[in-house]
């Protein structure tokens, strides 16, 4: 990690800045997603904020604007097998790095939501706690990651309708836990997570 933040502090540095955020660390099922976004300063997007504070309709609208107006964007994931193999933290870092590598433009600086930076990044990085509420590029990444993951859970619902993935999005709600007890785990469940492990046992 590069801790030289002098360039980051200057809004006139001319650096291209990418924001990275993830969606889906906590759920019991599905892949963990990450997105990277380089916003175009000449095409500002209004209303960017932490995706969790937006309605589904507003998230979908902003996701479309981001895809149309950003200089570059990328969405990536780490699947259930990878989550169970290397743990959710490392899988999240892997998804973030994949999102960064998917950008068509290499930024001069990467701002990452949270308190950790993926290993072996090739550019200067800074982790920002609650960055999705503070930095528009991270907010944009948060929105793309969240909408992509939600879309993937709707697909899982079509495959496994008995679990209600369209309602709880894989999180450990009372409904999800009830369906887990009733039907057992499906291939989309993270077997390394305690509630799923308990079902398997």
CATH number of the domain within which 124 lies: 3.30.420.10
Number of domains observed in the structure of the chain:
1
178, part of any domain: no
182, part of any domain: no
In this predicted structure, the answer to whether residue 162 has a pLDDT above a threshold of 60 is yes
62, part of any domain: yes
Q: pLDDT grade, residue 13 (50/70/90)?
A: low
26, part of any domain: yes
Q: Kindly report the length of the chain.
A: 201
Range of the domain at 93: 6-161
194, part of any domain: no
The pLDDT > 70 percentage for the chain reads 93
Q: Given strand 32-38, what is the order of strands in its sheet?
A: 72-78, 32-38, 17-23, 109-113, 124-128
pTM (two decimals): 0.91
In this predicted structure, the answer to whether residue 79 has a pLDDT above a threshold of 80 is yes
Query: CA of 82: how far to CAs of 79, 118, 194, in Å?
Result: 5, 16, 16
171, part of any domain: no
51, part of any domain: yes
89, part of any domain: yes
């Amino acid at each position: 990690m590069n801790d030289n933040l002098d360039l980051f502090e200057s809004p006139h540095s001319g650096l291209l800045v990418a924001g990275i955020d993830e969606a889906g660390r906590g759920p019991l099922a599905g892949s963990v997603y990450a997105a990277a976004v380089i916003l175009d300063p000449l095409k500002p997007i209004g209303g960017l904020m932490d995706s969790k504070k937006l309605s589904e309709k507003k998230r979908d609208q902003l996701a479309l604007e981001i895809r149309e107006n950003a200089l570059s964007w990328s969405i990536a994931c780490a699947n259930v097998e990878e989550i169970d193999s290397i743990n959710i933290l490392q899988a999240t870092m892997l998804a973030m790095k994949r999102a960064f590598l998917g950008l068509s433009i290499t930024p001069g600086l990467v701002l990452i939501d949270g308190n950790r930076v993926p290993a072996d990044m090739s550019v200067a990085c800074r982790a920002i706690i609650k960055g999705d509420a503070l930095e528009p590029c991270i907010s944009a990444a948060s929105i793309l990651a969240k909408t992509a993951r939600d879309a993937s859970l709707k697909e899982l619902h079509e495959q496994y309708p008995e679990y209600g993935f369209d309602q709880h999005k894989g999180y450990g709600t009372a409904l999800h836990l009830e369906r887990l007890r009733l039907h057992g785990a499906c291939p989309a469940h993270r077997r390394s997570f305690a509630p799923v492990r308990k079902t398997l046992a």
